[in-house]
Chain A
Amino acid sequence: MVGGFRWAAMFPDEVWEHVFSFLPADADRNAAALVCRAWYRIEQRSRWRVFVGNCYAVEPAAAVRRFPEVRAAAIKGKPHFADFNLVPSDWGGGAEAWVEAMAEGWPHLEELRLKRMVVSDDCLELIARCFKNFKVLSLVSCEGFSTAGLAAIAANCRNLRELNLHENEVEDNCLHWMSHFPESFTSLVTLNIACLEGEVNVYVLERLIGRCPNLKTLRLNHSVPIQRLVGLLHRAPQLVDLGTGKFAAQHHPELFSTLESAIAGCKNLKSLSGFWEAGPTYLPAIYSVMDLIEDDGLIAVAASCKLLQELRVFPSDPYGAAQPISLTEHGLVAISAGCPMLHSVLYFCRQMTNSALLTVAKNCPNFTCFRLCIMEPHTPDYITRQPLDAGFSAIVESCKHLRRLSLSGLLTDLVFKSIGASANCLEMLSVAFAGDGDAGLHYILSGCKNLRKLEIRDCPFGDQPLLDNAAKLETMRSLWMSSCSVTLGACRQLARKMPLLNVEVINERKRGLPLELQPDNCPVEKLYIYRTVAGPRSDTPSCVWILR
């Protein structure tokens, strides 16, 4: 500072803290922390919320030291393709190291959100014991724990507001875990147990939600029968978000009408999900929510749900023979035309045309997330037989705020040229069975200036684009490549050149020479590269090699 004038001392620290609280993004806070030591110190002490996109990017102890006053932490583990069984089950992503470090350094932690991590019952018990003011536990796509661990949470977290279990693999060994919520416990706002496979004691559940007047979100699992739903809804008329249990039963006319009125009694209901095995008998009780849908259904949705923001359409039978196509590009086009607020789409179908995609692009320039999965790899435009390059190019050129994109169908390197050039906001790109050669990958890595996550499978991309764009990889969170044309030699070169990257080679077959002895031209099955300040991790299983 010029003349040593300590201008930061013009205001008390608390004022600066208050100013920093208006900074919208962590990146802005990071920038403020670099201005001077005083700001660094003040910002450090006032950062309450931390997001760790890759649990191996930093040592837990280092994170805890860097921001000692954190109240809310979110951490992600396995790569996204773990959802589709492409990542070995023992790859890693264990939560213990983090939970132990947090228990030690963040005793005031209130919120913990973990995604794709292996969370043991021991972790849950540690959380339940160590964080006295714990309020929010959100586990998404995690595994490794059981309902016994949940019992510990229920018993000890007196101020729990949110228990969100979304799509986890949970062992059911403690039937009565919900009974561990004490009678004095009334703070619940969100309870999502949809992924639990065991029976739920509905009496206990009724009493629980009956004494939690602030409950806004309730997502039940399949074991809750439709008859009991009525009782639950009567006890929680203030619900905003409901996920039902089983939605099928023998038809009882009285049941139907009591259900209809119970749902109508929830005046604030804005979101519905669940409906396992929903039968046509009871569906009319829920207006404009559909279980099985075809083009006509989507056209109806387009006509009536003008405020629709996000749409996800999954195939009812992913492996079935294709049929007289009832769900096609027409449904997508109809939705794009009728729902101007639509910004996020996940759409599975079996056929597509460039023309449809061009129309969608024109209708919805506000897309932030566009994921199209044409079920059969390499499917071209079914009318013109052309690759779908033009269609996807139109999407990225029109949707200037697109942050997430998943490609499918027959695609050449041309589409990657468009994406690299136009997708300036793109943060996550998923590519499968696409491209002609190295050029495709090169376009992406040399363009897409905001790219954070790139995941590629079964594409003919090789070594050269990786080596030519090594520096780019340090600006990204991670790169996944499987069943491509990368060789071990390139990975070794990359690892030598870029010390801030972990280059993980995953080779699940346990035959032949160990990887250290393989030649440079040995093909790499699966490659996971991520930036890190923690160096190579110490919990790699036998099928993972971190190259140095």
Chain B
Amino acid sequence: MSPPLEHDYLGLSEHPSSPATAVEERVLNLSATELRLGLPGSETTDRKDKVGLTLELLPLPKSFVSGGKRGFSDAIDGAGKWRFAAGKGGSEVDLGKGGGLFSPRGEMAGGGTGKPSGQGNAGKDAAVNAAGQEMKAVAQVGGSVGHDRAMAPAAKAQVVGWPPIRSYRKNTMATNPSKSKDDADGKQGLGCLYVKVSMDGAPYLRKVDLKMYDNYKELSSALEKMFSCFTIGPCGSHGIPNSDGLSESHLMDLLNGSEYVLTYEDKDGDWMLVGDVPWEMFTDTCRRLRIMKGSDAIGLAPRAMEKCKNWN
């Protein structure tokens, strides 16, 4: 069977959409996934864009996929105890001067300083100065200046749920007020890009950060994990003895059977089939995602049905 040339929106095809993706998926070496603290430039070249904790994962399971989201739980799989190398006074960690610890996350929003001009004029007795005031102020931790490495966001180095900021707040924080081109969406920023995901028939929405993924395959597997609980089949997901959970899960079965189709709403408000455009273009234009029943998607994507037939 000749493999389909067009990129499968689920990223299931053997042939990834671009050479870059292929390289990424195949190069899963341990040093790339090992996380360490350190200043940029103080590490060797292969450590360029991975900054984070020093954790010794004993052993590193081969199912350790990229994406900080799953890193810790995957590491625990059958691995017994795991320890923190950094816990011992941080001696292994090169912290550098000025405590410049960070996870480089790519280009920063062009650092508008946003120094407020009207701060605290003591002369003007504003009513806001009264008791019981709760101030929400945003710290400008600043834009990147010293970085000349235009690296892709190091999504893999992100720790799930850290720093402890709620996703809606991250979206609003990521909006840089000095960028006038951003419209009322206000959701886009270099730090993160949360979009809502709804699934027909599911009782509630989720949100995903598109910046956490580098390609359609990662996105689809994350969505599959998120929504597989809703595809209630005759057997539960307990006790399915498979080494590779991904292809056996119900959602994939249903998707294979073209019962569900992944679609997105773009900036113009049109609903499109996910997977048709290059990943970067997709993340730029995607406003929300919807896992639609295949029958509803017929008008949208005749190719989806065609693709499904090609999978077997």
Contact = CB atoms under 8 A, between A and B. Distances in A.
Interface string A269-296: 1111100111110011111111111101
- Which has the most chain A C-beta neighbours within 10 Å: B103, B204, B237? B204
B100 A322 contact: yes
Contacts of A341: 131
Nearest to B84: A460
Contacts of B172: 222, 276
A322 B101 contact: yes
A318 B162 CA distance: 9
Contacts of B101: 322, 350, 375-376, 379
B168 interface: yes
A308 B133 contact: yes
Contacts of B135: 289-290, 301, 305, 308, 310-312
Contacts of B219: none
Contacts of A378: 37, 53, 84, 86-87, 90, 93
Given A270-B132, A317-B141, A322-B102, A287 B120 contact: yes
Contact of B120 (A303, A375, A508): A303
A300 to B, nearest CB: 4
Interface string A353-388: 000000000000000000001011111101001010
Interface of B: 37, 40, 53, 63, 72-74, 76-84, 86-90, 93, 95, 98-105, 108-109, 111, 113-122, 124, 126-147, 153, 158-170, 172-178, 180, 182, 184, 186, 189-192, 196, 198, 203-207, 225-226, 228-230, 236-245, 249
Contacts of B236: 542
B87 A460 contact: yes
Interface string A470-486: 00000000000001010
B103 A319 contact: yes
Contacts of B207: 169
B56 to A, nearest CB: 12
A315 B238 contact: no
- Which has the most chain B C-beta neighbours within 10 Å: A267, A307, A523? A523
A309 interface: yes
A432 to B, nearest CB: 7
Nearest to A271: B133
A84 B168 CA distance: 11
A430 B160 CA distance: 16
A58 to B, nearest CB: 24
Interface stretch (A25-33, A34-42, A85-93, A396-404): A85-93
B175 A320 contact: no
Contacts of B63: 511
Q: Do most interface residues of chain B lie in helix, strand or loop, or is the interface mixed?
A: loop
A313 interface: yes
B108 A321 contact: yes
A327 B137 CA distance: 12
Given A270-B133, A276-B172, A523-B79, A85 B167 contact: yes
A525 B142 contact: no
A304 B76 CA distance: 51
Contacts of B113: 292
15 contacts: A267-B127, A270-B131, A280-B115, A291-B116, A292-B139, A301-B120, A307-B130, A315-B139, A317-B142, A326-B142, A380-B90, A382-B98, A457-B161, A510-B238, A525-B73
A89 B226 CA distance: 7
Contacts of A141: 166
Nearest to B230: A90
Contact of B122 (A303, A324, A510): A303
A195 B134 CA distance: 18
A313 B134 CA distance: 11
A88 B77 CA distance: 17
B128 A288 contact: yes
B126 A287 contact: yes
Interface in A507-521: 508-514, 521
Given A270-B128, A307-B130, A315-B165, A508 B99 contact: no
A63 interface: no
Contacts of A340: none
Contacts of B228: 510
A315 B168 CA distance: 13
A115 interface: no
A323 interface: yes
Nearest to B53: A377
Given A277-B175, A318-B163, A510-B245, A287 B90 contact: no
Contact of A483 (B72, B138, B158): B72
The 5 closest A-B pairs by CB, nearest first: A323-B142, A84-B161, A382-B99, A284-B118, A322-B102
A304 B118 contact: no
A246 B184 CA distance: 8
A385 B95 contact: yes
- Which has the most chain A C-beta neighbours within 10 Å: B163, B169, B189, B240? B163
